[in-house]
Amino acid sequence: MDSEDDETQTHELRTEQEDRETREHKLLERSELSDEADQHERRRDKAAYLKEKLAERERAEREARGE
């Protein structure tokens, strides 16, 4: 796999995490039970963390290509 394919895959994964974070945030807002809200909050936080790590990876991939 070449670096462009890697960057495309990283971008797709980051977009997926953004969508997951948004979805969990909406579910958190609609949660009626404390346990349910806690679960959605943890999932949202995990997606936000992974999204940030993937953004860092994208930057590193661009730097490696000399952009």
- Note the pLDDT tens digit of each residue in 2-12: 667 888 899 99
For residue 47, give its domain range: 3-64
Task: Say how many domains are in the chain.
Answer: 1
The C-alpha atoms of residue 62 and residue 55 are separated, in whole angstroms, by 11
Does this model's pTM top 0.85? My answer is: no
In whole angstroms, how far apart are CA 32 and each of 6, 36, 40, 51? Answer: 41, 7, 11, 27
Dump pLDDT digits (tens) for 19-67: 999 999 999 999 999 999 999 999 999 999 999 999 999 999 889 888 6
